[in-house]
């Protein structure tokens, strides 16, 4: 409540000279009217609400967001309750209370928590000895998937075993296996390559 003081002087203009005067002080108390709804401090999305990001691995009970609101009124008219998406003042009577609402959008952020999966665990390829290697022909296409999203689901392929003579190469992104050196049936009749699919995200990396 705002308090204002005024000094009031009354003067008699029909009496003796000098005029007689009387002075008093007037106190005016200005009471607050609950005329301001609470206002949330920030709105970040196009719908006028707030946005929060939450990792999918966050434990139950984690704080998702903290919403704050202020009220230009004073006293109990300005006391704000903050709940999930509504702020209400404490004005009296109850039907004079004002509220403000805000929408909170929570986006679950993907964690790199899934292993890459090959479409087939074993791939067999038959190649004639005379297969030309100068053109680097594609002899098979290794496929794998990752259930993670975005960059967490991107894969890189590599030959990590069995390619001792360097006869084969694999495209790290597409998984295409090519022949890069001539085959010699009399020297080596079969190859057993070990191919790795690996996640590329920063942080955890899973291999298959």
* Domain extent listing, the chain: 39-109, 117-199
**Alpha carbon distance 58, 36 (integer Å):** 37
pLDDT at 204: 34
CATH code of the region 39-109: 2.60.40.60
Task: Report the Cα–Cα distance between both ends of the chain, in Å, rounded.
Answer: 71
Residue 117, beta-bridge partner list = 145
pLDDT at 137: 93
Residue carrying the six token digits 């067999």: 124
Q: Measured at the alpha carbon of residue 179, what is the angle toward residues 174 and 185, in degrees to the nearest 5?
A: 145
For residue 26, what are its two tokens?
A: 């007037």
Rg (CA), the chain: 39
Taking the complete model, does pTM exceed 0.85, yes or no?
A: no
Residue 144, beta-bridge partner list = 118
> In a 3-state reduction of DSSP, which class is residue 152?
helix
- Which string of b and e fits 177-200 if b means at least 16 CB within 10 Å? bbbeeebeeeeeeeeebebbbbbe
Distance of CA 53 to the CA centre of its chain: 3
Mean pLDDT per 10-residue interval, the chain, length 208 residues = 71 65 74 73 59 74 70 58 63 83 67 81 87 91 85 87 91 93 89 84 37
pLDDT at 158: 92
Please report, for residues 69, 80, 100, the alpha-carbon distance to residue 41 in angstroms, rounded to integers and kept in the order given: 5, 12, 11
pLDDT at 81: 59
> In a 3-state reduction of DSSP, which class is residue 74?
coil
Fold match between 39-109 and 117-199? Answer: yes
Closest CA to 112 of 188, 199, 5: 199
For residue 160, what are its two tokens?
A: 């990590």
pLDDT at 176: 93
CATH class of 117-199: mainly beta
């Amino acid at each position: 409540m705002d308090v204002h003081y005024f000094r009031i002087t009354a003067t008699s203009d029909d009496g003796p000279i000098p005029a007689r005067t009387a002075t008093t002080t007037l106190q005016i108390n200005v009471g607050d009217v609950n005329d301001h709804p609470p206002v949330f401090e920030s709105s970040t999305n196009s719908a006028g609400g707030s946005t929060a990001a939450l990792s999918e691995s966050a434990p139950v009970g984690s704080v998702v967001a903290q919403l704050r609101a202020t009220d230009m009124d004073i006293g109990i008219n300005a006391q704000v309750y903050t709940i999930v998406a509504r702020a209400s003042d404490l004005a009296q009577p109850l039907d004079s209370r004002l509220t403000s609402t805000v929408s909170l959008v929570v986006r679950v952020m993907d964690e790199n928590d899934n292993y890459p999966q090959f479409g087939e665990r074993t791939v067999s390829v038959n190649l004639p000895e005379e297969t030309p290697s100068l053109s680097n022909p594609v002899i098979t296409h290794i496929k794998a998937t990752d259930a993670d999203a975005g960059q967490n689901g991107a894969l890189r392929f590599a030959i990590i075993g069995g390619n001792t003579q360097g006869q084969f190469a694999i495209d790290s992104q597409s998984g295409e296996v090519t022949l890069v050196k001539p085959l010699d049936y009399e020297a080596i009749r079969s190859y057993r390559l070990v191919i790795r699919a690996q996640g590329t995200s920063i942080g955890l990396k899973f291999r298959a």
